[in-house]
Amino acid sequence: MKLTVLVDNNTEIDQYYFGEPGVSYLIETEGKKILFDTGYSDIFIKNANKMGESLLDLDYVVLSHGHNDHTWGLAYLMDLYSKKKGINEKYKIPTLIAHSDIFLEKEFLGENIGVNLSKEQLSINFNVKLTKQSIFLTDNLAFLGEIPRVNDFENKTPIGKYLKNGKREDDYVFDDSAIVFRGEKGLVVITGCSHAGICNIVAEARKVFEINKIFDIIGGFHLLNPKEDLMNKTLEYLGNQKIEKIHPCHCTDLGSKIKLSKILDIGEVGVGMVFEYK
């Protein structure tokens, strides 16, 4: 599997790509091409163009959850496809995979932070498939679906409110998911923000694949000034997994990375970086 970072908070030195506080990864494996999240703006397209990567032959677009820093780039991908259609240039129509609740209206401190396109609008350019169940995109790559909250120390604080059936309720981001690759050395867990809890995600990855060995985790760990109990129990859980390496980024603060680095081997992440796994 090859994973190319199209969007992250950080960029590699001397590469001069665009960065923003968001996530977008281009994944290629087993003859399939998957775009995981689209960031906040159009920079994932600009960065892909500069890297010589086409987004016109995608098999899947997978969304980790319905927040703006992971989904608002969809509007620009729609625009790209519409322009190609207008000049009769062919492109592959990808299947869009996401949790069933991804289109719920979300707000934080009075601001709209949810997906800014409807399922009907996206259906113009995508085959939209929504599910709470895990789905195998290839023999060795799976979308986890809804993540069971099995640890009592994670996901204790809501992220704003969501609207469902006419009622506004605290949003614990049940639409948050991840994708996982089964490699020769173990599982590679790829996350967006890990609102579901990074330890909950690891537990579900092991359950779906029936494999205990975690080789790498790359993506957001959602450790932003975490409470002491959450940090300590996260360190204890991950420290017991015998993980070869982790690549925490996006919504993971420096203090948390430093603490993680004391028990695990941490690698850098930045726009333009390429990771390859067998």
| pLDDT tens sequence across 122-181 | 999 999 999 999 999 999 999 999 999 999 999 999 999 999 889 999 999 999 999 999
Mean pLDDT, rounded, for 187-206: 98
pTM for the model = 0.96
Mean pLDDT, rounded, for 220-224: 97
Q: What confidence score (pLDDT) does residue 13 get? A: 87
| pLDDT tens sequence across 13-64 | 888 999 999 999 999 999 999 999 999 999 999 999 999 999 999 999 999 9
**Domains annotated on the chain, with CATH:** 2-276 (3.60.15.10)
Q: 178-183 and 141-143 as β-strands: parallel, antiparallel, unpaired?
A: antiparallel
Q: What 3 state SS string does the chain have?
A: CEEEEEECCCECCCCCCCCCCCCEEEEEECCEEEEECCCCCCHHHHHHHHHCCCCCCCCEEECCCCCHHHHCCHHHHHHHHHHHHHCCCCCCCCEEEECCCCCCEEEECCEECCCCCCHHHHCCCCEEEECCCCEECCCCEEECCCCCCCCCCCCCCCCCEEEECCEEEECCCCCCCEEEEEECCEEEEEECCCCCCHHHHHHHHHHHHCCCCEEEEEEECCECCCCHHHHHHHHHHHHCCCCCEEEEECCECHHHHHHHHCCCCECCCCECCEEECC
Q: What confidence score (pLDDT) does residue 86 get? A: 87
Q: What confidence score (pLDDT) does residue 103 get? A: 96
Q: What confidence score (pLDDT) does residue 239 get? A: 95
| pLDDT tens sequence across 82-116 | 999 889 888 999 999 999 999 999 999 999 999 99
Q: In which band, very low, low, confident or very high, does the pLDDT at 9 lie, cut at 50, 70 and 90?
A: very high
Q: What confidence score (pLDDT) does residue 85 get? A: 86
